[in-house]
Structure 1
Amino acid sequence: METVPNAESFDLFARISHSRTADEVVRQIELLLLEGVLRDGDRLPGERELSKRLDVSRPILREALKELETRGLLVSHHGGGTYVADLIGQVFSKPVVELIARHQRATSDYLEYRRELEGITAELAARRATQFDREMLTRILASMRQAHEKGDFEEELAADVELHNAIGECAHNIVLLHTLRACYRLLAQGIFFHRHLVFSSEHSREQLLSQHEAICAAIIRGDGALAKSAAQTHIDYISAAIREAERSGEWQRISQLRMQQRGLTD
């Protein structure tokens, strides 16, 4: 069995042991961004602390941070620290997002895309997940169960997105990771459909929880084929739930118009 070191023994920012230049600092922070370790909005340690942890002078650190800011990877707030920029928001430009939001066809295309993407991601996660990854999935799933049992709708939705992000991290593929995060950002913003439609009934929530458990169980077991099938079944269920919700909503609208036409409304 794989041995898990104490997480506290790791330092996010490793000491630079060779040429202590701004380029080396830039490279280390770039990799943390690329690998998804640092996320949008994360705050970097203060200048004194960070220079100490990287073992570089403060002028070198300032030069590196300035370059990363110029390239739009970091943002600095006067007197408020340095933060990771909104990298995900830049994957889909604002005009494209607004265009997608105006056309219903995008919803089915989005789910079709996610079905294939999440199938591949779950399969890779099952093959590549480390013990740390499996522990992360277990903890997020436990939070999701707890929110479900409490009936905390919003907390369960948040855990849903966090779990899918974590599965993306378990796949250890940088392009997949950032593509999925962009997809989930649009989902959280309600660009394609309102997630409350899918969570509208207790039965739906039970089904979704069961599906998430199945995906995680397959990944933790290391069964790639089963993980892929479970992930795609999950998206198929969401697609069907959305179609049903939209159809019911349309029927409701038509019924109301008929009543109005017959003068049967108050």
Structure 2
Amino acid sequence: MSGTSEKVYVEIIKKIKSIIEEDDLQAGDKLPSERELTDRLHVGRSSVREALRSLELLGLIETRRGEGTFIKPATGHRLVEVLASFILHDQKARQDLLETKSIIIRDCIELAVQRVRPEDIEYLNVLIREIERTEHDRDVQQLILRFQESVIKLCNNHLLYRLWVELSDYGLSVHQHSFLLHSGECSQLLEHLKNGDSKNVIQLMSQTM
């Protein structure tokens, strides 16, 4: 694809996104037809069709025979699977993923140590008590995952938190399982967090990669 063609293609996708926002369309709503999009965007119908096909491959829209094209719920999981399938089979890409996630964890924790509040510590204490008295492995895993997410969220930076979530989802797509702390490690991490010891918190959280 030439640079000019690629620019037009990207612009069409941006304009379709603008139409979705202008028309206040939500998940499950029907998109304008190809003909209407062609008229509104003042581009060729084949270009519109190609842009829609790409959005469908990414799992953002779906075409129903005889009904039209609809917006899918923006869960992100389909996009993660697509990216993982095409990118993370490459060993260098996997290494880049781990390196980037390590950087994100470090930055999140350094901010979290500065911004943690007494009520945050109490909430993490409550989670640890729940973990310790819960018997079923699946429930314990869910609680530990919530604990890890809560620690990262203490950075109070939504973009960094979302990056960590997305990178964790990429890793899950590749490895098919989560990397969780043990119950005792959660208690250790909380003590380090209360002491402002970002180095040891980072070391423990890095095990979840």
Give yes or no for contact 1:211–1:230 (8 Å, CA) kept in 2.
no
- The CA deviation at 1:184 is 3.3
Point out where structure 1 has 5 or more consecutive residues left out of the alignment. 1-65, 78-84, 200-204, 240-266
> Aligned partners of 1:211, 1:110: CA distance in 2, in Å?
24
Partner of 2:110: 123
Point out where structure 2 has 5 or more consecutive residues left out of the alignment. 1-19, 30-71
- The CA deviation at 1:111 is 3.0
SS at structure 1 position matched to 2:175: coil
Is the counterpart of residue 216 in structure 1 residue 178 in structure 2?
no
> Aligned partners of 1:100, 1:144: CA distance in 2, in Å?
36
Is the counterpart of residue 227 in structure 1 residue 198 in structure 2?
yes
Give yes or no for contact 2:113–2:193 (8 Å, CA) kept in 1.
yes
Which amino acid in structure 2 is aligned with residue 161 of structure 1? L
Give yes or no for contact 2:81–2:173 (8 Å, CA) kept in 1.
no
- The CA deviation at 1:122 is 1.8
Give yes or no for contact 1:100–1:191 (8 Å, CA) kept in 2.
no
- The CA deviation at 1:191 is 1.1
Q: Tell me the percent identity.
A: 13
> Aligned partners of 1:219, 1:192: CA distance in 2, in Å?
30
Which amino acid in structure 2 is aligned with residue 129 of structure 1? V
1:193 to 175, 187, 192: 175
Partner of 2:24: 70
Which amino acid in structure 1 is aligned with residue 174 of structure 2? F
> Aligned partners of 2:193, 2:146: CA distance in 1, in Å?
16
Give yes or no for contact 2:131–2:144 (8 Å, CA) kept in 1.
yes
> Aligned partners of 1:117, 1:100: CA distance in 2, in Å?
20
> Aligned partners of 1:105, 1:146: CA distance in 2, in Å?
42
- The CA deviation at 1:158 is 1.4
> Aligned partners of 1:136, 1:69: CA distance in 2, in Å?
41
SS at structure 2 position matched to 1:191: helix
Partner of 1:59: none
* TM-score between the two structures when normalised by the length of structure 2: 0.54
Give the superposed CA RMSD: 3.6
Is the counterpart of residue 177 in structure 1 residue 161 in structure 2?
yes
